[in-house]
């Protein structure tokens, strides 16, 4: 795993790029759901939202999430990073990563419901849901930068 040490800054840079792309989707998709929930089933707007939601999830969010995991795990495997495992802040970060991943899958299920014209949730639900990734993002950035414990 020594070869990873030389790549460390690159791996971290790509980890952050992937995380930004993933977060952009996690923030934008529920926003699309807010507008989609207000569009009549079968209307041209509703059909356009379906295409936008599918492309956002499959073209950006899924690959970005996988890249964030791959680069994050490679950073974790670099020899000098092994200590991360023992830090309290890292364990808390793992909990928030799991929460973000569960949220991603909840959005994917929501997209399937919209695609099948089977969404029953009001726009307000998605407006509230939109706050979840922001709160998790604030928590993760404080944990990785401030390392409070
Ligand atoms: C997907 C699984 C993830 C894994 C396995 C992972 C792992 C890691 C590791 C090992 C580091 C290096 C820690 C250090 O520099 O001490 C790191 C850095 C970082 N991670 Fe993650 N991470 C993941 C997801 C995320 C997410 C979702 C965010 C933000 C929402 C994030 C934001 C960051 C940031 C900003 C840094 C740079 C910290 C610094 O260098 O000061 N990571 N990550």
Q: pLDDT tens across 109-132, in order? A: 999 999 999 999 999 999 999 999
Which pLDDT value is given to residue 86?
A: 80
- CA proximity to 16, closest of 81, 64, 80, 85: 64
- Whether pLDDT at 82 is above 70: no
Each residue's pLDDT tens digit, 38-70: 999 999 999 999 999 999 999 999 999 999 999
Atom 41 in ligand 1: residue holding the nearest Cα: 145
Which pLDDT score is estimated for 85? 74
**CA proximity to 84, closest of 94, 70, 95, 71:** 94
pLDDT surpassing 90 at residue 2? no
| Confidence band for 80, pLDDT divided at 50, 70 and 90 | confident
> What does the mean pLDDT of the chain come to?
95
1 pLDDT above the threshold of 90: no
Mean pLDDT confidence for 1-11: 86
**Å from CA of 58 to ligand 1 middle:** 23
- Contact residues of ligand 1, CB 6 A cut-off: 12, 15-16, 19, 23, 68-69, 72-73, 75-76, 81, 84, 97, 100, 137, 140-141, 144-145
The most distant pair of C-alpha atoms in the chain lies apart, rounded to whole Å, by: 57
Query: How many angstroms does the Cα of residue 40 sit away from the middle of ligand 1?
Result: 41
Cα 93 from Cα 142, distance rounded (Å): 10
The pLDDT assigned to 4 comes to 84
CA of 48 from ligand 1 middle (Å) equals: 35
Sign of the C-alpha dihedral computed for residues 108, 111, 113 and 115 taken in this order: negative
Contact 8, 75 (CB under 8 A): yes
d(CA 55, CA 47): 13
Q: Which residue's alpha carbon is nearest to atom 17 within ligand 1?
A: 72
């Amino acid at each position: 795993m020594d070869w990873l040490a030389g790549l460390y800054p690159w791996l971290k840079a790509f980890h952050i790029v992937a995380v930004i792309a993933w977060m952009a989707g996690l923030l934008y998709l529920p926003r699309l759901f807010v507008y989609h929930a207000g569009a009549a089933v079968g209307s041209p707007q509703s059909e356009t939202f379906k295409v936008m939601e599918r492309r956002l999830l499959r073209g950006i969010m899924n690959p970005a999430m996988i890249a964030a995991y791959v680069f994050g795990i490679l950073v974790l495997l670099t020899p000098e990073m092994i200590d991360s495992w023992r830090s309290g802040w890292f364990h808390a970060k793992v909990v928030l990563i799991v929460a973000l991943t569960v949220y991603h899958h909840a959005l994917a299920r929501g997209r399937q419901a919209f695609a099948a014209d089977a969404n029953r949730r009001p726009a307000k639900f998605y407006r509230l849901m939109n706050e979840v990734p922001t709160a998790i993002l604030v928590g993760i950035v404080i944990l990785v930068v401030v390392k409070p414990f």
